[in-house]
Amino acid sequence: MKQTKALDHIRQQAAGLFLNPLQRSVRTVLDGLRLSVADIHAAQARLQRFAPLLQMLFPELQPAAGLIESPLMAIPRMQDRLEKKATLGGRCWLKCDHALPVAGSVKARGGIYEVLCRTEALAIELGLLADTGDYTTLNRPAVRKQFARHTMAVGSTGNLGLSIGIMARALGFNAVVHMSADARTWKKQLLKMHGVTVIEHDSDYSAAVRAGRQMAADDPSIYFVDDENSAHLFLGYSVAGPRLKKQLKQAGITVDADHPLFVYLPCGVGGAPGGIAFGIKAVFGDAAHCFFAEPVQAPAVTLAMLHSFEHYPTVYEFGLSIDTEADGLAVGCASRLAGDMMRPLVSGCFTVTDNALFDHLYHLQQTENIAVEPSAAAGFNGPHLICNSPSGRAYLKRHALDGRLEQATHLIWSTGGGLLPPEVFAGYMAAGRI
């Protein structure tokens, strides 16, 4: 699709698949990026250092020895349902980040990782870490007393606040979450239950982030997690790549030039899908094809991609108003850091209507008994768009994949819903049943 035609499409709030003309072969671009494969390894090592402490703070992490990870699941019944529309080449799998422990969303990767980065830096600065390198000593009352003089702050539509807030409080820090008007009531209540200070803003996500950033700038005891520009968040997400490689291997799934892996990632500012895609591309190279999914009302990264990731327009400039039930994706402008990283790596973006989100949410529960929040259902249009739309077919042809679809894996990334109160989920099901 030509740029002007694509932008018209977006103005009309029509769902569609948009390819990235700047995508390059991974080998040729990896060394020129702002963040490197060594950074992914460093993030893995840091999470490993904290694992014994996390296991102590959250008993639910004991089976995984302190690592926060989610299952990979086959979803044959949901695939049957998707194929009622048209057949798909290949098999559909679900990456269950809605079931990530501690925070119940994909933000348990990036958000918690950044809290741990700050904790480690502060512990070193204050001389609180034992020479033995045993991080469980950070749970001593004397250390927690020192942490209590410090604050972790973040702007959030909900899930990022939950991951930062829950982890910061578990370590003994104060936590402040600046929430946009899109934030759901139950997420605010849950934060307050964890002892987090919630500041409600009657404005959109970017404005809530700005307010938080400003407050932290005036006070050195406040550390601000900047979702629009954080390398820590990005790298926390990227660890999913090497971990997924192990899971796919255990499931007997081959990924190579003859067995392509398509990944469909719900996208807000681009940090979570960007970090995950970076980790996946670092591991699988050109055999992996990553697509971002956004609401038709909030296609922030799609717009940045259609402007070559040089200009980052707001969705308002295209007559949109972020009017979506997908609160996790309800952002008006993309992250530049994520955009810089994704310019040569992302295969494309697609947009989905809220009706489609609720339809997928409903059928995922009916077929596989899996409960997710609306944002987390954004990836399910992906397999059809790749296999059966004109843009998807053009992509397959360009990458010489049209004859290899039968051996393909479609990995739909489910990103949130683990902490959903049953009555809220029941409301979503009612909306999807229609």
Ligand X SMILES: *Cc1c(COP(=O)(O)O)cnc(C)c1O
Neighbour-count burial of 353, counting CB atoms closer than 10 A to its CB (0-12 exposed, 13-18 middle, 19+ buried):
middle
Of residues 299, 328, 382, 383, which one binds ligand X by CB under 6 A? 328
Each residue of 15-44: b (16+ CB within 10 Å) or e? bbbbbbeebeebeebbeebebebebbeebb
Q: Name which of 146, 152, 144, 126 is nearest 216 in CA terms.
A: 152
CB 410 within 8 A of CB 253: no
Of 267, 34, 224, the C-alpha closest to 115 is 224
The window from 16-24, 264-272, 312-320, 363-371 that contacts ligand X (CB under 6 A) reads 264-272
Applying CB under 6 A, which part among 17-25, 175-183, 255-263, 368-376 lies near ligand X? Answer: 368-376
Phi, psi (5° rounding) for residue 68?
-95, 105
Q: Does 109 bind ligand X (CB under 6 A)?
A: no
Contact between 266 and ligand X by CB under 6 A: the answer reads yes
Q: Is 387 in the site for ligand X (CB under 6 A)?
A: no
104 binds ligand X (CB under 6 A): no
Considering the complex, what minimum distance in angstroms separates the CB of residue 424 from ligand X? 14
Choices 66-74, 104-112, 145-153, 192-200 (CB under 6 A): range interacting with ligand X: 104-112
With binding defined as CB under 6 A, does residue 106 bind ligand X? Answer: yes
Q: Which is nearer to ligand X, 159 or 238 (CB)?
A: 159
Count of residues in the chain: 434
Over the window 406 to 425, marking each residue x when it contacts ligand X by CB under 6 A and - when it does not, the resulting string is ---------xx---------
The binding track of 187-226 with respect to ligand X, each residue x by CB under 6 A or -, is ----------------------------------------
CB of 385 to ligand X, least distance (A): 18
Separation of alpha carbons 182 and 297, rounded Å: 13
Quote the least distance from Cβ 271 to ligand X, whole Å: 3
Distance in angstroms between the alpha carbons of the first and the last residue of the chain: 33
Give the nearer residue to ligand X in terms of CB position, either 83 or 354. 354
User: Is the CB of residue 223 less than 8 Å from the CB of residue 175?
Assistant: no
CA–chain centroid gap for 45, Å, is 21
Residues forming contacts to ligand X in the complex (CB under 6 A) are 105-107, 159, 266-273, 328-329, 373, 375-376, 415-416
